[in-house]
Amino acid sequence: MAATLCGKLLPKKGWVPLTQSIRHGSKAVTRHKKPMHFLKKKLMAVTEYSPPKPAAPRGAYAEETTVVKEQENPLIRLLKRDVEGVFRDCKMIAVAQNNGSTSDDMVMLKYRFHKHGIKVKFFPNQVMHSFLSESIYSNMAPLFIGPTVLFVSKEPKVKEMLSTLRVSPHMILLGGCIDNTLLSAQGLASYAKLPSVTEFQGQLVSGLSMMASQTVALLQRHPAHLTALLQQYVAQQAEAENAAT
């Protein structure tokens, strides 16, 4: 009996033991982290804080002593040469603002100015500022803002210019330079009211002649009075001698 029990309980050769699977009550974790949206990822990358790099100590790098000078445009150089010739040859340079005048208005304005010997010039403001910054006319730079026009002449003809601009409402006079003197629009109007050089010369000559005649009259007054007194004295003495005889 004991041998029978041992034979049943002991594993036989080639026998596989019985396996039993046991299920637990907890479930497996199947949820994973949701990936970040592409736009949010870009926003996070852009707004990520990046600390500033520490500045290099002074003298760590060799200082650059060579400065590369920007080359000037040949067209601007040519226009600057023309502007320099205008300021050198013309005694009257007036600046006006062009407020939407048409090509026909500009042709008519040029024709009216041509009758008085006044020319109309157009130069870009960049060229004018570049020229004025290096010349004695640097105070005229604030006048060149927006579309501007130059009225130039070899002789000051302010009165003729103002009379022509009265029929051109699109042109607003800003200021100008007369005989190397900067004038505002009001100053140009006051200059136009001054008499001409010929009138000044006539007034000067008449004033000098009047002063000379007054000086001569003052110098001749006392000798003439003395002569009259002497003649009266001689006449009285002659009358007295005639009465005595």
Among 168, 18, 14, which residue's Cα sits nearest to residue 106? 168
Under a CB-based contact definition with an 8 Å cutoff, are residues 127 and 63 in contact? no
> Per the confidence metrics, is the pTM higher than 0.75?
no
2-49 pLDDT, tens digit per residue, is 555 455 555 555 555 555 555 555 555 566 778 888 888 888 888 888
pLDDT of 202 over the 90 cut? no
Under a CB-based contact definition with an 8 Å cutoff, are residues 17 and 11 in contact? yes
- Give CB contacts under 8 A, 24+ apart, made by 64-70: none
* 121: phi then psi, degrees, rounded to nearest 5: -120, 145
Residue 150 pLDDT class (50, 70, 90 cuts):
very high
68-116 pLDDT, tens digit per residue, is 445 668 888 888 999 999 999 999 999 999 888 888 889 999 999 999 9
Under a CB-based contact definition with an 8 Å cutoff, are residues 104 and 142 in contact? no
Q: The domain 74-192: what is its CATH number?
A: 3.30.70.1730
